[in-house]
Amino acid sequence: MKSVKHENFVDLSKLCSIRIGGKAKTVYFPSSSKEIRTLLIEADNTDKKFFPVGIGSNTVFSDGILDFIFVSTRYLKKYIIGQKEDTFYIEAEAGVSFKTITNIVKKLNLEGFENLSGIPATIGGAVVMNAGAFGTEISDIIEEVHWFDREGNLHVLKRDQINFSYRSSPFQKEGFVYKAVLKLKSSKKDIKSIIKKHLEERKKKQPLEYPTAGSTFKNTPKYPAGYLLEKVGLKGYKIGNVAFSEKHANFLINLGGGKFKELKKLIEIAERRVGELYRIKLEKEIQIVE
């Protein structure tokens, strides 16, 4: 265990995009599949929670000291590009960022990823959450996923073996997504301009000028979550230094020095108000780790 690069008492607010959280007793930084396996076996043997950390764009950590096996994907950034006629395959480790994939698809003018380009994510986290935007989900372009189970066994799963759904995958429960293969096509469209348009739209509609954890709640079958939150009077509503954004009601933002208890209270108020007024149970899209 201690042979895997690690740091002690790490500030968790620096490991998530909303910049809220206490400290991790230890964060591990594996750089190989062998080290990932070692950490998973350790978690299984000690019955500790195993928690992968990418860029933390939909994660909020509680206050205090958390004694989990936190596993950063910082050094898992290798990728390989393969080609078969007009089809390209990008095999990317968990820590490869969407920015890196965006640069590849712009350079090669590849179709399939453009709608996902502005999501602040890494491959591992995106696969786990089945990240999506503008009508596309990452599951739409996945060829296969390399995944470690809780006992440290590596599985290679083809797309049709994986039960993805809206912002959900089987990988959320346990184990570790080590890498994924994306399948993209050479395009006749101007992929650069499509990506530019999406990024401009995202900037216009989302409060990207503040630390945020992205969408707080999943959209419901009947209404978007932002619409419901606005209707129950929570757009711009704040407690302390955490608020539902004026720009997009489904985005919680840290106004500066925001606390976990403030964020948690806002979520509770939202769930209660929407439940009482619309008889709808909101489901969280952000992941709260406590």
Averaged over 108-137, what is the pLDDT?
97
Continuous segment of H or E residues that includes residue 37: helix 33-46
192: phi then psi, degrees, rounded to nearest 5:
-60, -45
Burial of 131 (0-12, 13-18, 19+ CB in 10 A): buried
Is pLDDT above 70 for 45?
yes
For the chain, the residue count is 290
Fill in the DSSP letter of residue 199.
Answer: H
User: Is 17 considered catalytic here?
Assistant: no
Q: What pLDDT does 256 receive? A: 97
Averaged over 253-280, what is the pLDDT?
97
Q: Which of the following is catalytic: 167, 245, 262, 273? A: 167
User: Is 93 considered catalytic here?
Assistant: no
Which tops the pLDDT comparison, 198 or 174?
198
Is pLDDT above 80 for 154?
yes
- Considering the chain, tell me which residue range(s) the CATH 3.30.43.10 domain(s) occupy: 6-72
Whether the Cβ atoms of residue 106 and residue 170 lie closer than 8 Å to each other: no
The position carrying tokens 């006992």 is 151
The C-alpha atoms of residue 95 and residue 173 are separated, in whole angstroms, by 19
The CATH code that applies to domain 79-192 is: 3.30.465.10
Is pLDDT above 80 for 1?
no
Q: Which of the following is catalytic: 57, 215, 245, 262? A: 215
Q: Supply the mean pLDDT for the chain.
A: 96
User: Is 91 considered catalytic here?
Assistant: no
CATH architecture of 6-72: 2-Layer Sandwich (3.30)
Whether the Cβ atoms of residue 4 and residue 26 lie closer than 8 Å to each other: no
CA distances from 263 to 80, 165, 230, 240 (A): 40, 27, 17, 9
Averaged over 247-257, what is the pLDDT?
97
Q: What pLDDT does 173 receive? A: 85
Q: Which pLDDT band holds residue 3 (cuts at 50, 70, 90)?
A: confident
The CATH code that applies to domain 207-289 is: 3.90.78.10
Burial of 245 (0-12, 13-18, 19+ CB in 10 A): buried
Is pLDDT above 70 for 2?
no
List pLDDT tens digits, range 48-82. Answer: 999 999 999 999 999 999 999 999 999 999 999 99
Is pLDDT above 70 for 12?
yes
Whether the Cβ atoms of residue 123 and residue 52 lie closer than 8 Å to each other: no
Q: Which pLDDT band holds residue 118 (cuts at 50, 70, 90)?
A: very high
Whether the Cβ atoms of residue 58 and residue 214 lie closer than 8 Å to each other: yes
The C-alpha atoms of residue 285 and residue 160 are separated, in whole angstroms, by 24
Q: Extract the tokens encoding 276.
A: 């009482």
Which pTM was predicted?
A: 0.94
Q: Which pLDDT band holds residue 191 (cuts at 50, 70, 90)?
A: very high
Partner residues linked to 146 by β-bridges: 156, 179
The position carrying tokens 């989900």 is 137
How large is the angle between the packed helices 98-108 and 191-205, nearest 10 degrees? 150
Q: Left (φ > 0), alpha (ψ -120 to 50) or beta: where does 276 sit? A: alpha
- Torsion (CA) 258, 261, 265, 268 in degrees, nearest 10: 120
The C-alpha atoms of residue 117 and residue 196 are separated, in whole angstroms, by 9
Q: What pLDDT does 174 receive? A: 84
Q: What pLDDT does 236 receive? A: 97
Burial of 101 (0-12, 13-18, 19+ CB in 10 A): buried
- Considering the chain, tell me which residue range(s) the CATH 3.30.465.10 domain(s) occupy: 79-192
Q: Which pLDDT band holds residue 237 (cuts at 50, 70, 90)?
A: very high
